[in-house]
Structure 1
Amino acid sequence: MGARAVAALRRGFRGQLITPGDPEYDTARAVWNGAIDRHPALIARCTGTPDVLLAVEVAREYGLWPTIRGGGHSVAGLAVCDGGLLIDLSRMRGVRVDSGRRIAHAGPGATWAEFDQETQRHALATPGGLVSGSGIAGTTLGGGFGWLSRAYGLTCDNLLEAELVTADGRVVTASAALHPDLFRGIRGGGGNFGVVTSLSYRLHPVGPQVLCGELYFAADEAPQVLRAVRTQLRGAPDQLGAVCLLGTAPAAPHLPARLAGTPVVRIGLCHAGRPERARGAVAPLRALPGVLADTIQLRPYTVWQRTLDPGRGPGARNYWKSEYLSTLDDRAIATLTEHFARITSPSSEIQLVFLGGAIARVGPDDTAYTHRSAPYLLSINSRWEHSEEDPGHTAWTRGLWSAMRAFSSGGGYVNFLGQEGPARVLEAYGPVKYRQLTALKDVWDPGNLFRVNQNIPPSY
């Protein structure tokens, strides 16, 4: 089957075809999560929409499950499966900015580092991922949040249109005016409805310099620090984005050497507005007692977007669990800090994203993203090197997640789901939104060709 598919693709494919045994095969099949080790029958590195069309046609005709790789950054590793056809979009990464209209047109293989580099040439940006190496397409299709989301909404809220190759071999444009139901579904519904081949985004004036940085505290200060951030963010302007990280301090030139490798609480802050207003917004947190290091200053937005990259590159083993929280009361904070004290890997961390602002002002039926009203997103990110350590790290992660379910607002973030089964996918959308997406799947992919994802199967 693989040989016949290769022969069919070679008749018109302009990109590169990689098969088992080729020198590049093992590198080409590798994804960000080092715990994923899968062997596709064929890898098709596409150069444009015609290549994607042909790859989808061959996958359908020869019974190969297609998987889609943009940035390849998902913790579930769903860009690749055993015996399937990996449709690799990583070479489709161009970014073009229309600064007058404040619109960016981008290929699905672009990363946030590449996207931000081009948009910041014009002092423009759209809310993107927290790690610059993640892909724009996967981020967008699952919702997408970042430092600018309280000010300007989710990534998917800023998507203006997308071109897709559908399961039946059509090229369609989805926007508010064209196929609006499909447009609603792809903004949060993942890759269930086709292969995205281009995306257009609304841009906002940001930078090139923004006030941003981190405040570091000793681990035993975690309860007081989390309570303070909770209180301050309730009345903070939407322009202020905040993320709390409980983990190990990195070895970095901007930090005191004595902090490296010690357990700390980090408050990451980024203000999207004018510096004079930004300083007042962050002042109460900078004045907290016990600050071990304060790195807040004016710096380029592109530099800040890379701040969380160290220690999050490809190759390590990862196991994550996420949950939207309805409350961060003292019991929830105590639960977090108790489990933080028992963290099993120096590379693991507990991440708490403060939501609200513009995210919560988008209508619940405007997109497939569900958890608009949740004020917090908890992500438990375990990371380590050796497979023999798997049981201990995964048990710690599941233990903290189970304990925090008592404070849940009803599900996890689809982009942070591992291979957790259909019930967790249902929770990520909720029953009403899930039924709507199932009906959309019936229209656009009734045969469930695109199933290697956080799958929403058709109803028949």
Structure 2
Amino acid sequence: MGTQYDRFIPQFARFQCLYRALDHRRSTYINLAKTKRFPFLTRGGGHGYAASLGDFQLGLSLDLSQWKHLKIDKKAQTLTVGPGITFAEIFDPLFNAGFYIQTGSCSCPSMIGVTLGGGIGRLMSVRMAGSDGKVITVSATSHPDLWWGIRGAGANFGVVTSATYKIHPLVNNGNVFVADFYIPPARSREYFDMVEANYSNMPADLAQVQLVGNWVYYGTEKEARKVLAPVFNLNATSSTRIVQWNKLVSSSGFDEFICQPNQPRSLFSLNQKIYSANGYQAGFKKIEKYFYDYPGGRDTTLVIENFPNQAVAAVPDDSTAFPWRDFKGFIQVNFAWMAGDEATAQASNKLGEELRNQFAATSGYSEKAVFVNYARGDESIESIYGKRKLPRLAQLKKKYDPSNLFAYNHPLPMHYP
């Protein structure tokens, strides 16, 4: 999700490739770009935050957004999708088939694109066209070294033309309990103290996105009200509802901000390993002043995402390239303003730097750490991929993309250190 990277590409050649023709054309385009030595970039959902995408100029952008293959195998409990499939397009088919899968907080990104940055879900295998133009299946048993690397740094090694995921039977008949709490500014510190005191070790079925105070529990209402008792005890204005899983993301209110097309944006994000009421409150006060001083930026969101991480932490750290298995959520400031409002744009970027540095001090990490899909691109490469993972990733990059064809989405080096 994020800024549509087309705005970073003033001059390029784009090819819309239909599903039936793509098998042949993808290798042709890769070989053409490699032979003629011009920049090459693939586009799925068109949601890239990386500042490095701005380096893509006068090249060929392969648009995969029309390749919308989707197949559910009920017996095997798998979902296979093409690179054009967004999260919005899997919810109803999966729900109607009696299944669900973990997703992000908004519906518009490419499912495959998000997966390759995280590497922490139920991805089982991918079909990939590499820099040599050959198509291979990558899984735990086929090219296992590359299988390690694509789960966390997947944009660096090839063009993924399909991915297969493990899916899960619906829990509680697919019904999810959602509670929204509306906290006045004067009670913000009280709310943040409650979060820190009660949810630093969050139950496995609970997640929170603090756009207002949006809590989601995968289970029954009775169980949810027990787990959320500290929040309800605030006696804040609230509303609760039961939402079917396939409608959860679209009903959150988050989509309408994050998925607006052609919207100038600037993103600053950090992982958080601990919950800090001091950090939350200091950031809240600065955003409050920003809204007062710059009305043109009031579509901006300061989002504190808190998640249970038991499943992520249970997987051995060396099993994938994803480097941050001890994280418990994200701090994300997503600035948005109208095109041409340069005063708000400059103020946004200035405040974004301040907030990122401020939140880093209370994140629980000794250095800045950021999820690659949320990374701005001006962070150090260690902040994105992790110092321990980089030597192995650099070796893989040299092996599978020695010509550095895939060089525009948080690119990896060929050597590290």
The alignment's TM-score, normalised by the length of structure 1, stands at 0.81
Q: Aligned AA for 1:192?
A: N
Larger relative contact order, structure 1 or 2 (CA cutoff 8 Å, min sep 6): 2
Distance 1:68 1:103 in 2: 25
Aligned to 2:57: 82
2:376 paired with 1:418: yes
Say whether the 8 Å CA contact 1:79–1:86 is kept in structure 2. Answer: no
Note the 1:224-243 alignment, pairs <5 A: 224-243=190-209
Greater displacement, 344-353 / 110-119: 344-353
Matched residue count: 395
- Pick one of 31, 40, 53 that aligns with 2:27: 53
Q: Secondary structure at the match of 2:255?
A: coil
Q: Secondary structure at the match of 1:71?
A: coil
Question: Which structure 2 residue ranges, 5 or more long, are not aligned?
Answer: 292-296
Note the 1:306-321 alignment, pairs <5 A: 306=250, 307=252, 308-312=254-258, 313-321=260-268
Say whether the 8 Å CA contact 2:208–2:215 is kept in structure 1. Answer: yes
What per-residue deviation string (whole Å, max 9, x for no partner) do you get for residues 316-359 of structure 1? 11111111223333432332233232234211111111132212
Shift of 1:445: 0.4
Greater displacement, 212-221 / 196-205: 212-221
Distance 2:303 2:6 in 1: 21
Aligned to 2:244: 300
Distance 2:117 2:184 in 1: 34
2:107 paired with 1:161: no
Q: Secondary structure at the match of 1:228?
A: helix
Greater displacement, 69-78 / 130-139: 69-78
Aligned to 2:148: 184
Q: Secondary structure at the match of 2:116?
A: helix
Question: Which structure 1 residue ranges, 5 or more long, are not aligned?
Answer: 1-30, 144-154, 246-265
2:316 paired with 1:358: no
Check 1:76–1:36 CA distance in 2 against 1; reply closer, same or farther (3 A cut).
farther
Aligned to 1:112: 87
Greater displacement, 32-41 / 304-313: 32-41
Shift of 1:285: 1.8
Distance 1:51 1:415 in 2: 27
Say whether the 8 Å CA contact 2:14–2:62 is kept in structure 1. Answer: yes
Shift of 1:60: 0.9
Distance 1:218 1:412 in 2: 30
Aligned to 1:208: 174
Q: Secondary structure at the match of 2:317?
A: coil
Say whether the 8 Å CA contact 2:264–2:336 is kept in structure 1. Answer: yes
Aligned to 1:429: 385
Aligned to 1:140: 115
Q: Secondary structure at the match of 1:224?
A: helix
The alignment's TM-score, normalised by the length of structure 2, stands at 0.89
Shift of 1:201: 0.7
Say whether the 8 Å CA contact 2:100–2:245 is kept in structure 1. Answer: no
- Pick one of 1, 8, 12 that aligns with 1:41: 12
Q: Secondary structure at the match of 1:273?
A: coil
Q: Aligned AA for 2:197?
A: T
Say whether the 8 Å CA contact 1:218–1:292 is kept in structure 2. Answer: no
Aligned to 2:360: 405
Q: Aligned AA for 2:188?
A: A
Shift of 1:159: 0.3
Q: Aligned AA for 2:166?
A: R
Q: Secondary structure at the match of 2:228?
A: helix
What per-residue deviation string (whole Å, max 9, x for no partner) do you get for residues 342-385 of structure 1? 23421111111113221222211111111111223211111111
Q: Secondary structure at the match of 1:129?
A: coil
What per-residue deviation string (whole Å, max 9, x for no partner) do you get for residues 273-295 of structure 1? 34443342234323323x2232x
Shift of 1:163: 0.7
Q: Aligned AA for 1:269?
A: W
Aligned to 1:396: 351
The Cα RMSD (Å) is: 2.1
Check 1:213–1:378 CA distance in 2 against 1; reply closer, same or farther (3 A cut).
same
2:351 paired with 1:385: no
- Pick one of 187, 196, 206 that aligns with 1:221: 187
Aligned to 1:455: 411
Q: Aligned AA for 1:340?
A: I
Shift of 1:32: 4.5
- Pick one of 279, 282, 290 that aligns with 1:335: 282
Check 1:205–1:226 CA distance in 2 against 1; reply closer, same or farther (3 A cut).
farther
Say whether the 8 Å CA contact 2:188–2:281 is kept in structure 1. Answer: no
Shift of 1:457: 2.2
Check 1:79–1:400 CA distance in 2 against 1; reply closer, same or farther (3 A cut).
closer
Shift of 1:124: 1.3
Paired-residue identity, %: 25
Check 1:276–1:330 CA distance in 2 against 1; reply closer, same or farther (3 A cut).
closer
Check 1:274–1:184 CA distance in 2 against 1; reply closer, same or farther (3 A cut).
farther
Relative to total residues, which structure has the larger helix share, 1 or 2? 2
2:26 paired with 1:73: no
